[in-house]
Structure 1
Amino acid sequence: MKTYFIGDLQGCHDQTQALLERLHDIADGPYRILFCGDLINRGPDSLATLRLVYRLWQQDLADSVLGNHDLHLLAVVNGIRPEHASDTLSDILAAPDRDELIGWLRRRPLALQQDGHLLVHAGLLPQWTPRQALALSDEVSTMLSGDGWIDFLRQMYGNEPAAWRNSLRGADRLRCIINAMTRLRFCSADGVMDFKLKESGTAPAGSGLMPWFEVPGRRSAVETVVFGHWSALGLRIEPNLIALDSGCVWGGQLSAVCLQDHSLVQVSCPEFRQAAGKAAR
Structure 2
Amino acid sequence: MHTINCNGRLIDLSTPRVMGIVNVTPDSFYDGGKLKSDSDLINQVTKMLTDGATFIDIGGYSSRPDGVNISVDEELNRVIPVLEVLSKEFNNLNISIDSFRAKVMDQAIQHGANMVNDISAGTLDEKVIETVAHHQIPYIMMHMRGTPQTMKSLTDYDNLIKDINIYFSQRIATARAAGINDVIIDPGYGFAKTIDQNYHLLKNQRLLKFHDVPILSGISRKSMIYKTLDIKASQALNGTSALHMICLQQEASILRVHDVKEAMEVIQLYHILESN
Tell me the TM-score range normalised by the shorter chain: 0.3 to 0.5
- Compare the two structures and name the one with the higher helix fraction: 2
